[in-house]
Amino acid sequence: MQSIFDLKKEEDLYSILNCVDSSTSEQIRTEYKRLALQHHPDKNSNSAQFDKIKAAYDILGDPAKRALYDRWKASGLIIPFSQFAQLGTHAQFIGNHYHLS
């Protein structure tokens, strides 16, 4: 089992796309296109940055995934978003805590 001390803070997906939580879908798409062109492997050797941009847009560009990401971000949970997303609809916020159904 991974210790909570071994967990690394995840980079904010909005900041990867130079956006904020309140950005519209159009603003997110515009920034994604701009950054994808700027960091595309054909133009730039930093494909890791391009992959981060693609992964961020995969979540923030989809309304359902974005809503789940926003819920995770607001929760203050220390588990990675990928693990939170796997819980899906089983995670319910009751009072001040998440419970699994």
Segments making up each domain of the chain, as ranges:
12-100
Exposed, middle or buried by CB within 10 Å (0-12, 13-18, 19+), for 98?
middle
Is residue 93 predicted with pLDDT exceeding 80?
no
Is residue 71 predicted with pLDDT exceeding 70?
yes
Q: Are 20 and 60 in contact (CB under 8 A)?
A: no
Please tell me the distance from the alpha carbon of residue 39 to that of residue 31, in angstroms, as a whole number.
Answer: 12
Q: Tell me the pLDDT band of 8, cut-offs 50, 70 and 90.
A: low
* CATH hierarchy code of domain 12-100: 1.10.287.110
Distances (CA, A) of 14 to 18, 23, 33, 52: 6, 9, 14, 11
- Read off the tokens for 30: 């515009």
Please tell me the distance from the alpha carbon of residue 51 to that of residue 48, in angstroms, as a whole number.
Answer: 5
How confident is the model at residue 100, as a pLDDT?
47
- For the entire predicted model, the pTM comes to 0.77
Is residue 54 predicted with pLDDT exceeding 90?
yes
